[in-house]
């Protein structure tokens, strides 16, 4: 389990990165063309590494988004250092967050005719 400090610092960094993306401060046409959100940032125990999870709200290629953000990781690190008061600015690593894709997959399974049939059979028995 992450400590309260890890959670707090992760949330601060999430806000800074999300704000930068929302304002379009990264001068990269590839990033500007995508609708990127930041649902979570996980910090290492020593607070020197931050894993920034991103999702694409308007579709697009997730691997391209992660690569594009990775190209600007040093600049983003500098921006985080200016806005978050930490002894060391953490290295930023970007990963695509698959939780929402998994939720969509489970919803589709639950709406499938086979599952609906099984659920209807359970209702009939009670």
Across all residues in the chain, what is the average pLDDT?
88
For residue 72, the enclosing domain spans 4-97
Residue 52, pLDDT > 80, answer yes
40 occurs within a structural domain: yes
110 or 9: which leads in pLDDT: 9
CATH number of the domain that 91 lies in? 3.30.300.20
- pLDDT at residue 89, rounded to an integer: 92
pTM beyond cutoff 0.85: no
43 occurs within a structural domain: yes
Confidence grade of residue 41 (pLDDT, cut at 50, 70, 90): very high
112 occurs within a structural domain: no
116 occurs within a structural domain: no
64 occurs within a structural domain: yes
Could you give the number of structural domains in the chain? 1
- pLDDT at residue 122, rounded to an integer: 63
Compute the average pLDDT of residues 78-106: 87
Compute the average pLDDT of residues 82-105: 86
- pLDDT at residue 124, rounded to an integer: 66
29 occurs within a structural domain: yes
Give all strands of the β-sheet with 49-56 in edge-to-edge order.
Answer: 36-43, 49-56, 91-96
123 occurs within a structural domain: no
Contact yes or no for 69/38 (Cβ under 8 A)? no
- The single-letter DSSP state of residue 90 is P
117 occurs within a structural domain: no
């Amino acid at each position: 389990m992450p400590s309260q400090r890890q959670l707090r610092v992760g949330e601060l960094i999430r806000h800074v990165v999300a704000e930068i993306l929302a304002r379009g401060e990264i001068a990269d046409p590839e990033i500007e063309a995508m609708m990127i959100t930041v649902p979570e940032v996980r910090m290492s125990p020593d607070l020197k590494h931050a894993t920034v999870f991103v999702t694409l709200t308007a579709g697009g290629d997730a691997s391209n988004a992660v690569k594009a953000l990775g190209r600007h990781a040093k600049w983003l690190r500098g921006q985080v250092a200016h806005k978050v008061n930490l002894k060391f600015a953490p290295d930023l690593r970007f990963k695509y967050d698959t939780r929402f894709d998994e939720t969509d997959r489970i919803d589709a399974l639950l709406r499938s005719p086979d599952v609906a049939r099984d659920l209807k059979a359970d209702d009939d028995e009670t």
